[in-house]
Structure 1
Amino acid sequence: MDLETFQWLLTDDGQRLLDRATHVYVDAEGDPVRAASSVRRIEPDADRAAAALTQVQLRARAVAKFGDDAVGMYFTPDALEQSTRARVAAHRAARLAAAQPASVIDLGCGIGGDLIAFARAGLTTAGVDLDPVRVAIAAANLAALGLPGATQVADATSIDLSGFAVAFADPARRSGRGRTFRVEDWTPPWSFVQSLLTRAAVVKVAPGVPHELIPAGVEAEWVSDDGEVKEASLWSGPLATVARRATVIGAGGLATLTEDDDPWQGRERPVRELGRFLYEPDGAVIRAGLVTAVAAGVGGGLIDEHIAWVTSDDSFHTPFARGYRVLEEVPFREKPLRAALRERSIGVLTIKTRGVDVVPETLRKRLALRGENTATLVLTRIKDTGTALLVAPF
């Protein structure tokens, strides 16, 4: 979609077409071929018809990230994929607002997902992006939601940042070959990110960012949403309060864990015998290197120094880990394991692996399960020995 077509969508005629395309899409039950044929009968201009129907389809997909806001917003496929989930953006904006900065500039604002969160948090916001279409969409999204904020087409690396209290950046992690994990391929590049981190800034990076890349004095926060690690944020200057943080967002709200919660920092990791309960730390906790903080929280230890399973003799509910009751140990080798599962009439099996070279989907097929019972199987190592445990989540 080019800029001219998008601007037409914002006109009265474009809005009427969007409204009719929405009804057509619903009537077609999401069938893109039927919907496209119907929209083309309404609007003969192919580009306008395609743009309207694409917006309807993207809005439906965007509900998972933006909730009810999505039905009135605008997107491009790539920008929607790259945008931050609303709950994650809201957490970052709330944390930033708590620091009471005078203003924040979004360097690479895309379609405005983070701008929306910043504005809702009461921050004075501005956003720039190299893509004129994304800038126009960001402005339209702010307007659609009744939020203030300025947008401009500009190169983030050439902006004078002196007038802004905080700079936020979400470098594009794609090259001509698709998604990239090389920081040299980011846009803006890693060298620009490093320069930002010498002042008050927040930079969104991939959750797999190597710890050795994080400059001294910069806080790294890993964030998971509904159990899925979504991103890491680097906080610099006065915004950095600790070195590492894991933030977990779920149905029960938000919880955060830092190295200050870990009495084992700088000490030998607490390994102990398998207890009556296992705890599977959230991915954000693992990325942040705070598994031993979870162990301390449940009065337990690790089953192995190098594996992120925590064990305890006590039952705890914690937002930072999923808990399981250990039922019994079963054979680790495939043939006797298959016999043990059949003996227990287990026909549906959830397989969790950590520290062993096993592909759950492949193993499940080879086990040829049958029976009326369901179970959860943990395959891991304890003292360098392959171990299989039947467990029950609680």
Structure 2
Amino acid sequence: MERAELVELLTPDGLTLIDQVGGSDADTDPVGTVSRLRAEGHSPALVSAVLTQVRLRRKAVGKFGEFASRMLFTEAGLEQATRLRVAALHAGRFSAAGLTRVADLGCGIGGDAMAMAAMDLEVTAVDADEVTATVASYNLAPFPTADVRHANAEDIDTSEFDGLYFDPARRTAGHSNTTRLTRPEDYSPSLDLVFGRAATQPVGVKLGPGFDRSLIPENCEAQWVSVDGQVVELGLWFGPLARVGGRRSALVLDGAGTHELTAPADSEDVAVREPGEFLYEPDGAVIRARLIGDVAREIGAGMLSPGIAYLTGDAEVATPFAAAFRVIERFPLDERTLKRELAKRDIGTLEVKKRGADIDPAVFRKRMALRGSKSATIVLTRVNGKHAALLCERIPRN
């Protein structure tokens, strides 16, 4: 969103129009909606901006639920925003630590700041981009304990706050079509500044889940978070925001609730064993946190192969930290053999999973020329170091 679009939107006419169009058939008949709005005398720029907001609000429901219907968004801001469910956990850390005046440095559209303000924390949300800061100001307007500043994080006097939350920009500047920054030294604010503040003040930091583990400071708690099977972030927590005794955490949020594994350090892997009747795929947060061994011991499983994040066991054990599969048959990893066997079993819908095998699942599925009426999962991997294919049945979670 450019500044001119935001100026068009932030008028009584613009805001009213968003609500009106949001309840219409803008999705099913976009051409008709544009024609109707133009016939009513609305400018092309306003019509375009309104339709974009309606689309983003609907897309945002997965992150913000019913709150999305009263928020404003930018494309990049929504993509990078913390899910409200996760933001509430962030805010809970500050509240539990007794920190009441928090600076959200790099606030984006204000998702984390909303959660903090909802817990009655005094939050100052800061963003270096004028449009983004204005959008955050609109989103935070209902919260009396929140205010927004358009400024660089580096220019904020943090001594007026008793807690800091950083969400460094990890994409190129702009409001749409941004690209991911791969080098931590290109983040804004820099991690040198972030970690420097953590030496003197309580600090929380949101980073991408693939952040280089070798760069994680020793004096913090590192928590990888997954939501409905997708790893969404790495949180680093310093000082009183870090929990005693836990330096590694895998937090799994799903439809059944919130589940967490914690440990003082990476866990040791269990021994490799012969494949059992059941295969387990640890959640991505568990893998990132390197707590696979703890999950294996909890469910009585062994490693399928050295260095491969699959577990195997003889019993079906329900756990929120791993997906379970029943192994139907084991085959050599040979495409002609697999194509023949899948056709013999009338498989037409195939979930392809792979670890330790240099295979593109989409290309593999196409080469199988599936035409059957049944479904299955095939795992292309290694069994005790040797390539193999495991035909499986996914076990639904309760």
Answer whether TM exceeds 0.5 for this pair. Answer: yes
Identity percentage of aligned residues = 44
Alignment of 1:114-153 (within 5 A): 114-144=112-142, 146=143, 148-153=145-150
Q: Which residue of 2 aligns with 1:214?
A: 216
- What CA deviation, in whole Å up to 9, does each residue of 1:116-153 have, x standing for no partner? 11112332211111122222221211225x55311111
CA contact under 8 A between 2:270 and 2:296: conserved in structure 1?
no
Shift in CA distance, 343/54, structure 1 to aligned 2, threshold 3 Å: closer
CA contact under 8 A between 2:332 and 2:387: conserved in structure 1?
no
Q: Which residue of 2 aligns with 1:342?
A: 343
Higher mean Cα deviation, 222-231 or 375-384?
375-384
Higher mean Cα deviation, 310-319 or 366-375?
366-375
Shift in CA distance, 368/47, structure 1 to aligned 2, threshold 3 Å: closer
1:251 corresponds to 2:252: no
Alignment of 1:1-394 (within 5 A): 1-3=1-3, 6=6, 9-23=9-23, 26-144=24-142, 146=143, 148-175=145-172, 178-198=179-199, 199-241=201-243, 242-260=246-264, 265=267, 267=268, 269-394=270-395
The amino acid that maps onto 2:317 is: F
Aligned-residue offset at 1:30: 4.2
The amino acid that maps onto 1:204 is: K
The 2-side partners of 1:36 and 1:179 are apart by 33
The amino acid that maps onto 1:175 is: T
The 1-side partners of 2:181 and 2:229 are apart by 24
Aligned-residue offset at 1:8: 5.5
Q: Report the 3-state secondary structure (helix = DSSP H, G, I; strand = E; otherwise coil) of the residue aligned with 1:27.
A: coil
Shift in CA distance, 98/79, structure 1 to aligned 2, threshold 3 Å: same
CA contact under 8 A between 1:108 and 1:127: conserved in structure 2?
yes
CA contact under 8 A between 2:300 and 2:313: conserved in structure 1?
yes
Tell me the number of residue pairs that the alignment of Structure 1 and Structure 2 aligns. 388
The amino acid that maps onto 2:261 is: L
Structure 1 length-normalised TM: 0.92
Structure 2: segments with no counterpart, 5+ residues: none
CA contact under 8 A between 1:17 and 1:43: conserved in structure 2?
no
Q: Report the 3-state secondary structure (helix = DSSP H, G, I; strand = E; otherwise coil) of the residue aligned with 1:308.
A: coil
Higher mean Cα deviation, 291-300 or 88-97?
88-97
Higher mean Cα deviation, 185-194 or 251-260?
185-194
The 2-side partners of 1:43 and 1:196 are apart by 52
Shift in CA distance, 44/60, structure 1 to aligned 2, threshold 3 Å: same
Higher mean Cα deviation, 112-121 or 133-142?
133-142
Output the aligned Cα RMSD. Answer: 2.1
CA contact under 8 A between 1:352 and 1:379: conserved in structure 2?
yes
Aligned-residue offset at 1:15: 3.0
Shift in CA distance, 208/56, structure 1 to aligned 2, threshold 3 Å: same
CA contact under 8 A between 1:269 and 1:305: conserved in structure 2?
no
The amino acid that maps onto 2:81 is: S
The amino acid that maps onto 1:118 is: M
The 2-side partners of 1:75 and 1:102 are apart by 27
The amino acid that maps onto 2:275 is: L
Shift in CA distance, 31/288, structure 1 to aligned 2, threshold 3 Å: farther
Higher mean Cα deviation, 249-258 or 28-37?
28-37
- What CA deviation, in whole Å up to 9, does each residue of 1:189-217 have, x standing for no partner? 22222223323111100100011010111
Higher mean Cα deviation, 61-70 or 91-100?
91-100
Structure 1: segments with no counterpart, 5+ residues: none
